[in-house]
Structure 1
Amino acid sequence: MPSLKELRARIQGVKSQRKITSAMKMVAASKLRRFQMRAEASRPYAEAMRRMIAELAATVRSDGSQPLLMRGGPGKTHLLVMLTSDLGLAGGFNANLARLMASLVQDLESEGERVLILPLGRKGGDAMSRAFPDKVIERVAGTAGREVPFATAQSLGGTIETLLADGKVDRVTLVFNRFVNAMTQTPLALPLVPLAVPDNDNRADDAPQYEFEPEEDELLASLLPRNLQVQLYAALLESAAGEQGARMTAMDNATRNAGKAIDTLTQRYNRSRQANITTELIEIISGAEAV
């Protein structure tokens, strides 16, 4: 049985840990509101742009003249772009993505595709380097829980465009956590390249017909890179909000567990102390009687 000194040290250590987890919970909660507002505000714009680009692409002839961001490459090399956090202590935020990535890699390889991985964030880079060291082509630094600049999406989009133009990849899928609420983040795989285009045969006969100026090909060539950056930025905001929500929940649970541990240790301490006092009293009384 631990001594009273050891129990006091344990109680003090757990109390210090509870202070840290409680402070981290408050910091995550303060950041969550800001990131949540930005993620929710980006959704309508990203969805509207994705729908507009898809409708525009549906009017373009399907031949080899289509932009790479629309049709993808001719080969079977699939790039998985993974958005994770730089920091830990966020529950299953990164672990859930790692499981989804493992499942995607297995499914794609079973279909005969070659898989490459581009992780953003230290946690994702570490996990993928351990699980698939031969598939990670580059590790991109995350935002370390700070504000997400649009320049991050622009840089990531430029990397993807370069890989496509060089013929190193043919398809691209974005893997990230979609923010639902503070307790729920849903791992999601969003195809980026080739572009999902609605079937012309399924369009209503009374659907409005548009004339474009400049031509559709020119519009697509200028809008597709922008759409790629917007989709990446929206996903980065979703991931940032999800990270803070997961960390707030994890630190709340840790704080509660620390409180329970303190109560248990305090009870053990009091019982041991009472047992020691009782033993000392018995020894004193026994000694007095012997005299």
Structure 2
Amino acid sequence: MASLKEVRNRIASVNSTQQITKAMKMVAAAKLRRAQDNITQLRPYAQKLSQMLGTVSAGAETASDSPYKQARPVERVLLIVVTSDRGLCGAFNTNAVKGALTLLDQKYAAQARSGNVEIMAIGKKGAEAFQRRGFRVNTTHVNTFGSLNFGTVKIAAEEAMDGFAAGRYDAVEIIYNEFKNAAVQIVRAEQMLPIVATPPAAGAAAAINYTFEPSEEEIVTELIPKTLKTQLYKAVLDSNASEHGARMTAMDKATDNAGELLKELKLVYNRTRQAAITTEILEIVGGAEALANA
């Protein structure tokens, strides 16, 4: 049985840990509210923009000439994996890494075996995980969350777009955690490049004729890069909100677990203390009886 001093030290240590996890939960909750507002505001715009691009691209002649729509045999792949810079957020980072590895196994196994897969890591945890596995990792954008805004994400998107247009990559995929609520994050894999046109549905929608102003070429040329950058920005904002939700949930569970552990330790402490008192009483009684019989 542990001594009273050892149990007291454990109680003090768990108390300190509980205070830290409780504070981290509160900080994550405050950050989550802001991150949730950001993704909630952007999501409808990004979805509508993507829908518009798919519909217009299906009918616009200019879109077919876009370098971002050129489908070719997939030999070189770029995976943009969005994780966090810090841990203590449950299985958040592990799930994103597993999602990327599953995508490689199911869709790009041959490219992975031949070493033609490059990882663009947005978040330090993803970069570290893939470096340990021997992948070529672009770590230029691991600090994106330090100053998260459209401008910083746009740089990463442009790098991927330029690489695809130049033929360095034949396919670009984004893997991230989509935010549902504080307790639920869903791993998503989205094809960024080449662009897949979405033909209009059969019926009335199929008969729509678009009138372009100022011109079809100018609109499509402007719309495609903007949509691609917004797609990546939405994924990063989704991941940012998911991270704070996962951390808040993890720290809430850690705080509860610390409380349960404290109850057990206090029970052990009281039992140990009672046993020590009983032993002292027995020693005193035994000594008194020895003196009385002397």
TM > 0.5: yes
Structure 2 residue 137 is matched with structure 1 residue 136: yes
In the TM superposition, residue 149 of structure 1 has moved relative to its aligned partner by 0.8
How well do the aligned residues superpose, as a CA RMSD in angstroms?
A: 2.0
Following the alignment from structure 1 to structure 2, what is the Cα–Cα distance between the partners of residues 109 and 74? 12
Match of 1:13 in 2: 13
Structure 1 residue identity aligned to 2:137 = V
In the TM superposition, residue 66 of structure 1 has moved relative to its aligned partner by 1.6
**Aligned ranges 1:93-242 → 2 under 5 Å:** 93-110=92-109, 114-131=116-133, 133-144=134-145, 148-199=148-199, 203-204=202-203, 207-242=207-242
Whether the aligned pair in 2 keeps the contact of 1:73 and 1:167 (CA below 8 Å) is: no
Percent of paired sites with the same residue:
40
Please give the TM-score of this superposition, normalised by the length of structure 1. 0.92
String of CA shifts for 1:7-31, please: whole Å, max 9, x gaps: 1001000000000000000000011
Give the total of aligned pairs: 287
String of CA shifts for 1:140-192, please: whole Å, max 9, x gaps: 22344x56211122111111122113311011111100000000000000111
**Aligned ranges 1:40-119 → 2 under 5 Å:** 40-61=40-61, 66-73=65-72, 75-110=74-109, 114-119=116-121
Following the alignment from structure 1 to structure 2, what is the Cα–Cα distance between the partners of residues 102 and 112? 12
In the TM superposition, residue 111 of structure 1 has moved relative to its aligned partner by 5.9
Structure 1 residue identity aligned to 2:161 = E
Which region of structure 1 is more displaced relative to structure 2, 208-217 or 240-249? 208-217
Following the alignment from structure 1 to structure 2, what is the Cα–Cα distance between the partners of residues 47 and 286? 83
In structure 2, list runs of 5 or more residues that go unmatched. Answer: none
Following the alignment from structure 1 to structure 2, what is the Cα–Cα distance between the partners of residues 54 and 111? 29
String of CA shifts for 1:96-140, please: whole Å, max 9, x gaps: 111111111112234667432111100010111112x23324452
Following the alignment from structure 2 to structure 1, what is the Cα–Cα distance between the partners of residues 88 and 119? 24
Following the alignment from structure 1 to structure 2, what is the Cα–Cα distance between the partners of residues 221 and 138? 30
Which region of structure 1 is more displaced relative to structure 2, 147-156 or 80-89? 147-156
In the TM superposition, residue 37 of structure 1 has moved relative to its aligned partner by 1.1
In structure 1, list runs of 5 or more residues that go unmatched. Answer: none
String of CA shifts for 1:249-279, please: whole Å, max 9, x gaps: 0000000000111111111011011001000
Whether the aligned pair in 2 keeps the contact of 1:179 and 1:238 (CA below 8 Å) is: yes
By percentage of residues, which structure has more helix?
2
Give the direction of change, closer, same or farther, for the CA distance of 1:217–1:70 in structure 2 (3 Å limit).
farther
What secondary structure sits across from 1:58 in the alignment? helix
Structure 2 residue identity aligned to 1:17 = T
Give the direction of change, closer, same or farther, for the CA distance of 1:67–1:138 in structure 2 (3 Å limit).
farther
Structure 2 residue 236 is matched with structure 1 residue 250: no
In the TM superposition, residue 205 of structure 1 has moved relative to its aligned partner by 5.2
Which region of structure 1 is more displaced relative to structure 2, 211-220 or 16-25? 211-220
Structure 2 residue identity aligned to 1:188 = R
Whether the aligned pair in 1 keeps the contact of 2:175 and 2:190 (CA below 8 Å) is: yes
